[in-house]
Amino acid sequence: MTPFEAVVASKLIEQGYDVLSSGWPDFCVVKKTGEVTEVRFIEVKGLKDIVRANQQKLHRILRILGLEVEVIQENSKHRMQYPPALSTGILVVRKEITGRPAIGRQKAIFFLESELKTGPKPVHELIQKAFDSQISRATLYRTKSAMRIKQTSLGRQKVWELPVESVEEPKS
């Protein structure tokens, strides 16, 4: 940090701001396809490297802003696990659904939010309604997992319910 940057940072801190000058993901990738621009942030970690607290805080802020953050961890076999477009020796250990997902996923998110906002619903009913709405079972389950929808049992019946959202506020 230059001396002038330090002065600016100290003034911002005096005003009550958290100044995050480290913790940014390794890559910001941008891809334009027609009218759609995709922006993702990627954090790359070596074999024994971990995501530090300041990185977790910044990743949380980026996700709140609707930006996708991925953490890619090198695996011990140096074999590509995911995604196929990247070179060998990586493994995605966490991928958040943020930003603007694909149309099918958007439809599934809207469907689950609208169906579950009134409370838990039986899984078999949700699957049938999703099928009627032309949402595949696979998309429904992937979206359920990404949205952290809880599955519980009421007697013999399995139900899904939306989790209680708890977004941590940055501590000053």
Query: Which H or E run includes 2?
Result: none
- Give percent of the chain above pLDDT 70: 78
Q: Which CATH fold topology does 103-161 show?
A: Arc Repressor Mutant, subunit A (1.10.10)
Record the tokens describing residue 115, joined without a space: 């169906």
> Which pLDDT does position 78 carry in this prediction?
52
The letter for the amino acid at 63 is R
Residue range 111-123: mean pLDDT, rounded? 87
Q: What is the CATH number of domain 3-95?
A: 3.40.1350
Beta bridge partners of 152: 159
Record the tokens describing residue 127, joined without a space: 């699957």
The letter for the amino acid at 72 is I
Which range scores top for mean pLDDT: 38-47, 95-104, 116-125, 154-163?
116-125
127 pLDDT more than 80:
yes
Query: Which H or E run includes 91?
Result: strand 91-95
For tokens 């009913």, what's the residue?
125
pLDDT tens per residue across span 50-102: 888 888 888 888 877 777 788 887 766 554 444 444 443 444 444 444 444 56
The order of strands in the sheet holding 157-161 is 121-122, 157-161, 150-154
Residues 6+ away with beta carbon under 8 Å from 45: 51, 71, 72, 73, 74, 93
Please tell me what DSSP assigns to residue 62. H
> Which pLDDT does position 20 carry in this prediction?
82
**Which phi and psi (to 5°) does residue 60 adopt?**
-60, -40
Answer yes or no: pTM beyond 0.85.
no
pLDDT tens per residue across span 158-172: 888 887 653 344 554
In which residue ranges of the chain is CATH 3.40.1350 found? 3-95
Q: How many residues does the chain have?
A: 172
The distance of Cα 55 from the centroid of its chain, to the nearest Å, equals 14
In which residue ranges of the chain is CATH 1.10.10.10 found? 103-161
> Which pLDDT does position 171 carry in this prediction?
52
- Give percent of the chain above pLDDT 90: 2
Mean pLDDT of the chain: 76
Q: How far apart are CA 172 and CA 165, in angstroms?
A: 22
Torsion of the alpha carbons at 69, 37, 66 and 115, rounded to the nearest 10: -110
